[in-house]
Amino acid sequence: MSAIYRRELGAFFGSLVGFGIIGAFVVIMMLLSVLLDPMGGGGDWFKRGELSMRTFFGIFPWVAAVVLPAVSMKLWSEDRRQATFELLMTLPVPTWQVAVGKYLAAVTFFAAMLGATLAFPFMLIRFGTPDWGPVFGGYLACFILGSAFIAVGAFVSGLSDNQALSFFLSMLLCLGIVGMGELRPLVGEIARTAPLAALVHALSLPLLALAFLAAAVGRDRALGSTAVVLGLAANAGAYLWSADSMSKEQFGAMQAVAQHVVAGFSQASVLEHFKEIERGIVNTNGLVFFASIVVLFVVLNVMSLESRRYG
């Protein structure tokens, strides 16, 4: 495992692409959190006269969902493109050690990316007296979330030999994971007025995402088209079912079920757990949640590799 780790880490830092990713990440975070203030919160330091990293941590999940797939896209796609994948699979080591070695190298590179942003807290020291609790909590939350995104990207990279496709699919998955937290209030409002539609949305969208991923990786247009048509039909048809056709008791029961499903969104919301850790509330639920994402996608990665190794 250590040999794989060193090999991959050397590949990250041995090319200009790796340093370009670090530079782009720092510049994007600086522009968005200090100057442009897209969140409308703690950014725009110079005009507001307020030194805060709230906007930095607020935009990180969205920036990471776009940038980190560029880190993970080459983990397996590059080996498959250069025909070194077969060599790795014939090494006298278990597949899981190869997968974990690659994953840990990508996480180490991400830690270097995050370390390059330490200029932000140093600015706080220079111009003010920062509250270090939220700063440490925010960086811990960023590291944990980024590690989860890399696990997602490593799994997707193992499914295709096309780096561009791996990047695009990983980005969509990561954006979807983050966006789930933003959709929760909207789905909650729908659950109060149209509970059937809320249930269809909550249950069908993850399945549609998986079907689209399978279609994209397998280049199966029939599967992709079928998933899109059925998904649109189901989500649109849910609104055609009139609440007047249900009794008051049936509507109330369906509304209660929909509310429970929406409540489950808060437990499965990346942003909810991220914000808790960012505020310094490091509880078992949040750590187990992110650890579960990492373990799930690393195991899926190993399983997909095993199917090719012995298939």
Average pLDDT, the chain: 77
Dump pLDDT digits (tens) for 34-45.
766 555 554 455
Q: CA 102 to CA 76: how far, in whole Å?
A: 9
Is the Cβ–Cβ distance between 173 and 84 less than 8 Å?
no
pTM of the model: 0.81
Burial per residue of 237-252, b for 16 or more beta-carbon CB atoms within 10 angstroms, e otherwise = ebeeeeeeeeeeeeee
Half-sphere exposure of 58 (CA within 13 A, CB side): 15
pLDDT tens-place string over residues 197-233: 777 766 676 677 666 666 655 555 676 677 777 777 7
Lowest-confidence pick of 21-30, 72-81, 201-210, 235-244: 235-244
Its sign, for the CA torsion 139, 144, 148, 151, is: positive
N-terminal to C-terminal alpha carbon distance within the chain: 23
DSSP 33: I
Which among 205, 141, 152, 198 has a CA at the least distance from the CA of 174? Answer: 152
Q: What angle do CA 189, 61, 156 make, to 5 degrees?
A: 100
The angle at the Cα of 11, spanning 10 to 16, to the nearest 5 degrees, equals: 110
Using CA atoms, how far residue 38 sits from 43, 48, 130, 186, in Å, is 8, 14, 22, 21
* DSSP per residue, 251-276: HHHHHHHHHHHHHHHHHS-HHHHHHH
Name the least confident of 45-59, 100-114, 240-254. Answer: 240-254
Instruction: Please indicate whether residue 237 or residue 304 has the higher confidence score (pLDDT).
Output: 304
Residue 74 pLDDT grade (very low, low, confident, very high; cuts 50, 70, 90): confident
Give the separation between CA 57 and CA 146, rounded to whole angstroms. 12
Rounded to 10°, the helix 270-278/284-309 angle is: 130
Q: Which of 161, 249, 238, 169 is nearest to 209 (CA)?
A: 169
Q: How many CB atoms lie within 10 A of CB 277?
A: 24
Q: Do 98 and 86 form a contact (C-beta atoms < 8 A)?
A: no
CA distance 218 to 207: 16
Residue 259 has pLDDT above 90, yes or no: no
Per-residue burial over 150-177, b if 16 or more Cβ lie within 10 Å, else e, is: bbbbbbbbbbbbbbebbbbbbbbbbebb
Neighbours of 104 (CB within 10 A): 18
